[in-house]
Amino acid sequence: MEKIHNLYSHRQGKRRRGYKSSRIIPKERGNHSNLTGKLQKGKTGVARLALWARVPVIPVGIKGTFEILPKGAKIPKLKRASFSFGKPMYFDKYYNKPMTKKLLRSVTDSIMREIANLSGQKYNY
């Protein structure tokens, strides 16, 4: 919780000094159950932070990383990866609602569906 508090304090400090934007760039840890390179079920942390900090989410679809370094490989292959950036997703209509598990799952799933579209995959959850 301390990291979230520091992010909030940092964000408020910048806003007071005249800055108008804030960025949250989540770094996903490796999912050890993903042996196929398919999109997994999204976790609700990004939705929780976006709603709490009242910031938009910019979805990013990534293609080709599994081919570069498949699960279990020790040496990466020389292949290309591509990144597709989506339009910012705003969740203003949820800011004044209670942050329930159902709301977080709904926002997370909408973000994941957009990531699936950008990466050319299906989101089956």
107 CB contacts (<8 Å, ≥6 apart)? Answer: 44, 47, 50, 51, 91, 94
Q: Is the pTM here over 0.85, yes or no?
A: no
Domain ranges for the chain, please list them.
2-19+44-70+77-119
Classify strands 82-85 and 60-63 as parallel, antiparallel or unpaired.
Answer: antiparallel
Q: Which of 24, 22, 20, 23 minimizes the C-alpha distance to 46?
A: 24
pLDDT tens sequence across 51-91: 999 999 999 998 888 888 888 888 889 999 899 999 999 99
Give residue for tokens 């938009």: 56
